[in-house]
Structure formats: C-alpha cells, structure tokens
Structure 1
Amino acid sequence: MKQFLLRVPEVTLLFWVVKTLSTTVGETGADFLAFDLNLGMPIVATIMSGAMVILLYFQFAKFKTYIPMVYWSIVILMSINGTLITDILVDNFGVSLETLTIVFTLAMLAGFGLWYKDEKTLSIHSIDTGKREAYYWVVILLAFALGTGVGDLLSEALALGYSTALTIFGGAIALVAMWYFLFGLNAVLAFWIVYVLTRPLGASLGDFLIKPVADGGLGIGMMSVNVAFLASIVLIVVVMSFRAKKVLSNSAKGI
C-alpha cells in the first residue's frame, strides 16, 4: 500500500470534499478572526503563519509521512494564510486584484517549472521525499493566494457576483472532469487544474454564504459557517484516519 508511505493523501472523492471545505474555511475563517474578533489581518497572519511553520517543522522533521490530521491542519492554515496574503496586499498596500492574479499565476507556474526541472514529475503519487513535499507545499500556498485573488476579481472587481463566480468555477471543474474521464486528459494536469480551481470555488462559496443578501450573498452568520464546515472536516478526516490505520494494520498482518 504505497500511498501510505507517501507524504500526501490518496486522491479520492473525500479528498476533494475536504479540500473544498478547507478552502471555504480559509476564506471565512480569516475574515472571522481578523474582523469579527477584531484581531486585524497582520496579527492573524502572524499567528496563523507561526502555527503553519510549527506544523510543517514537525511534518518534515518528525512525521515524514501522510498523517490525515496533520496534513489537513496544514492545508487549512495555508488556506487561511493564502487569504490573508491576498487581502493584506489589496487592502493594506493597494495592490490591484488584476496585478495579484498575474503575479501569483506566474509565481505558481515558476514553482511548477522548478519542481519539474528538479524532479522530472509533478505527480503527487511520487511525493515520497522531503524535497518533493517542499515543492508541493510552496505551490499549494501560491495556489491558495492566487485562488483568493481570482475569486475576488470575478465576484467583486468585475462585479459578476458571488453566485456567478461560484457557477463559473464549478462549471470549469466539471469541464476538466469531463475532459479527463471522457477524452483522456493527462491525470497529473487534470489534478493540478482542479486543485487550483477548488480554491476560488471554496472562496466564492464562503463569500456567497456569509455576505449580506443585499450584496448578493445568503447572509448566513460567519460563526455558523465556520463551525459547520470545520465540524464536517474533522468528521471526514477522522474517517480517513481510521481507514489509513486499518489498511496499515492489514498490510502489517499480510492481509
């Protein structure tokens, strides 16, 4: 069962569900901490970045394999930090969403390019070394920052609205899935396209749920959304953990 020797999870339906939920929590969680609790974006960014660095240290130095709770905690923290990076650059430094989208797109593509040049593969099924995992997390953080910017660009700067942005990103993912299952799109390319798209999808979903009805949202309380989504993530990750332990146990017994 090689997938459990890897540093990242097997790609299943549950993987995509938790990934989307995590990106939504990244959007709404960052706003809740920064604005509802009045901590401010710089303070929240400092706290979340510190927590992320600590978990990454243990992941690289101690664990060196896929542990569901650790992995998804890092994903959530990166999702929150990706949101904060974009929001701080836009709100505090006046960088336009168009500029951010271009810069983060180029940075992410450069990350992929360096990764491929060094390792000759971008497949997550090959992430079994610290170097490959480092490339993986760098690209993911850039993808989260990019996804936040793209989501805000479509829904707010271009005034398409949150529901329209949600439909666009969901439709794009559906098209990629169709291309993969029906027309043989390369699996690695399909994975990364969908991985990048689920970020603005989750961000748009979060905004759609919490923004006031007058602004095109549903007006659901931010606390309610965060609690519901976090509880769902924890439940699914617990299931993933039990499945992983069962497979490892059976493998050790030669079953």
Structure 2
Amino acid sequence: MTSTARRARSGSTTTGALHGAVRVPGIIAAFWVTKGLSTALGEGASDYLVQAMAPQIAVVLGFVAFLVALAVQFRQARYRAWTYWFAVAMVGIFGTMAADVMHVALGVPYSVSSALYAGLLLAVFWLWRRTEGTLSIHAIDSPRREAFYWATVVATFAMGTALGDFTAFTLHLGYFTSAAVFAALILVPAVGYRRLGWNPVFCFWAAYVVTRPLGASIADGLAKPRSAGGAGLGDGPVALVLLALIVLMVAYLAVTKADVPRAQEPTPAPGPVAARG
C-alpha cells in the first residue's frame, strides 16, 4: 500500500476530513421521503417568512442560516443525519427565496428564471464532472467534491422553484395539476433505472431535480388560499407540520443509521481512467 493510500485510509489529509468517508447519505426510501418533505418545507417556510417580516430581512436571515448550515456540515468528517438534513432544509429555504427574488423583485419571468437556473445547473454539472471525473454521490468523500454537491443542490432548488411556479402560473396548470405532472415525471427515471438499465447517476439527479417542483407544488397547493387554487391551510401551519415530519424522519435516521453509507475504498483522483467511470 502506498503512503498516499495509507493516508487516505487513515483519514490523515491536509483538510482534516476523512478521505474515503462518504459525506452524504445512502439512497434508501427514507432519503426520498425526507428530501420531498424538505422541498415542500423550503417553499412553505420561505413564503411564510417573507410575509411575516420585511422581505429584505427575511432574505438576509435566510442567507445567514444557509451559510451557518453549510459551515456546520463541512465541519463533519463523514455523514451525520442532523447536520446534513439541516443543511438541506436551509438550502431549500434560501434557494426558494433566491428564485422568488428574481421574479418578484427583478421582474424576471418564470420561463426565463427557469432557463437561467437550468443553465447554471448544467454548468455546475459540467465543471464537477470535468474536475472530479464523476458525478456519483457515492464519491462525495472530500471537501471539494462536497462543495460541488452543495452547489448542485442549491441550483436544483432554485431551478425547481422557478419551474414549479412556471407550470402553476405561466402555464395556468395550478398547484395540484402541476404536482401531478411532476409526480408522473419523477417516475420516468425510476422506471428507467429499475426496468431499462439507465445510468444510475443520471437517474438519481433527474429524480432529484424533479423532487423540488413536486414538493413546492404540493406545499403551495395546501397552503395558498382557495381563491388562488389552494386548500387554504396557510403557509405557517403547513411549514410547521412539514418541519415536525422532517424532525421525526431525521430522528429515525439518526437512531437507526439506516442511511449511513457502507465503508468503501477511497475513490480515485480524477484522471483518464476515473473520467471514464
């Protein structure tokens, strides 16, 4: 075993992180449930906060909470349920605000903001793949790869928010019809992966992207007034219920460790061989 491999196996790196220790959860059913709840929470909490206080203050507070959550997450040497899902929740809230600010404050149409964020997402994917040689979440075992991961997550939340509003308002589908459309779309990569042998990395990210507009459409459908096509439950109550459900799910994952990735060999550094994988 080379000295580099021994350092990677023992976790002795210049960053202090355990190289080879995966920093994101394994993909099980509970992951998708919690992810869906977090996307809905981001929508409901963001809408409630910008109404409960001055929107400028809400956005600043959301950005600060987003930075704090990521700082806490990056201090972890390996996956921890509480810190990871706290970061996802804060990304969801701030990502929603970022998309809404572009439309409400700057007057950018939902079709344009959806396209802009889609372009940003593709750019992040391209740079990540070019730099690290893989987009697999099973290879998120270093701070740099995790930075690419969270940049991708932020882009998916922002794009998904704009896309959900695009179908609901620009296409006049409404909240629940939009949710039905996205629910059908999320089945495409699931069937492709299970039945047709599609690339698992592509299928994961395709499903991941769709969870955002799906969750946002459901949250809006439950919270918005009946006059706007919703159920009229209110943003605050919906956000509180979603938060309680997320806390229960994360507590379950933290106790059972059902989503803790199995130990694995350190992933190879990017290069000709790794890039083909």
**How many Å separate the matches in 2 of 1:64 and 1:100?**
35
**How many Å separate the matches in 1 of 2:174 and 2:40?**
17
State the Cα distance separating 1:244 from its structure 2 match: 2.3
State the Cα distance separating 1:41 from its structure 2 match: 2.4
1:49 aligned partner, one-letter code: F
Going by fraction, where is helix more abundant, 1 or 2? 1
Deviations 1:30-61 (A, max 9, x none): 011111x1x1322111112112212222322x
Taking the TM superposition and a 5 Å limit, the aligned residue runs for 1:156-235 are: 156-235=169-248
Residue 28 (structure 1) aligns with: 44
Q: Is the contact made by 1:41 and 1:84 (CA closer than 8 Å) also made in structure 2?
A: no
Deviations 1:74-112 (A, max 9, x none): 111111111101111111111111111111111100000
1:25 aligned partner, one-letter code: L
**How many Å separate the matches in 2 of 1:71 and 1:247?**
12
Residues 246, 153 of structure 1: alpha-carbon distance in 2 compared, 3 angstrom cutoff: closer
Structure 2 residue aligned with 1:47, among 61, 65, 74? 61
**How many Å separate the matches in 2 of 1:238 and 1:5?**
22
User: In the comparison of the two structures, how many residue pairs are matched?
Assistant: 244
Instruction: Structure 1: give runs of 5+ residues left out of the alignment.
Output: none
Backbone CA RMSD of aligned residues? 1.9
Q: Is the contact made by 2:26 and 2:260 (CA closer than 8 Å) also made in structure 1?
A: no
Structure 2 residue aligned with 1:14, among 30, 35, 48? 30
Deviations 1:180-230 (A, max 9, x none): 111111111000000000000000011110112222211113222111111
2:207 aligned partner, one-letter code: V
Structure 1 residue aligned with 2:100, among 62, 77, 87? 87
Residues 119, 174 of structure 1: alpha-carbon distance in 2 compared, 3 angstrom cutoff: same
Structure with the greater alpha carbon radius of gyration: 2
1:78 aligned partner, one-letter code: V
Q: Is the contact made by 1:64 and 1:130 (CA closer than 8 Å) also made in structure 2?
A: no
Instruction: Structure 2: give runs of 5+ residues left out of the alignment.
Output: 1-17, 264-277
State the Cα distance separating 1:21 from its structure 2 match: 0.4
State the Cα distance separating 1:247 from its structure 2 match: 7.5
Residue 21 (structure 2) aligns with: 5
**How many Å separate the matches in 1 of 2:156 and 2:147?**
14
Residue 107 (structure 1) aligns with: 120
**How many Å separate the matches in 1 of 2:259 and 2:208?**
27
Deviations 1:149-207 (A, max 9, x none): 00000001211111110011000011221111111111110000000000000000111
Corresponding residue SS for 1:6: coil
Query: TM-score, normalising length from structure 1?
Result: 0.91
**How many Å separate the matches in 1 of 2:145 and 2:259?**
27
State the Cα distance separating 1:245 from its structure 2 match: 9.1
Corresponding residue SS for 2:230: coil
**How many Å separate the matches in 1 of 2:29 and 2:256?**
14
- Between stretches 50-59 and 162-171, larger displacement belongs to 50-59
Q: Is the contact made by 1:59 and 1:65 (CA closer than 8 Å) also made in structure 2?
A: no
Query: TM-score, normalising length from structure 2?
Result: 0.84
1:161 aligned partner, one-letter code: G
Deviations 1:1-42 (A, max 9, x none): x9x93110011110000000000010010011111x1x1322
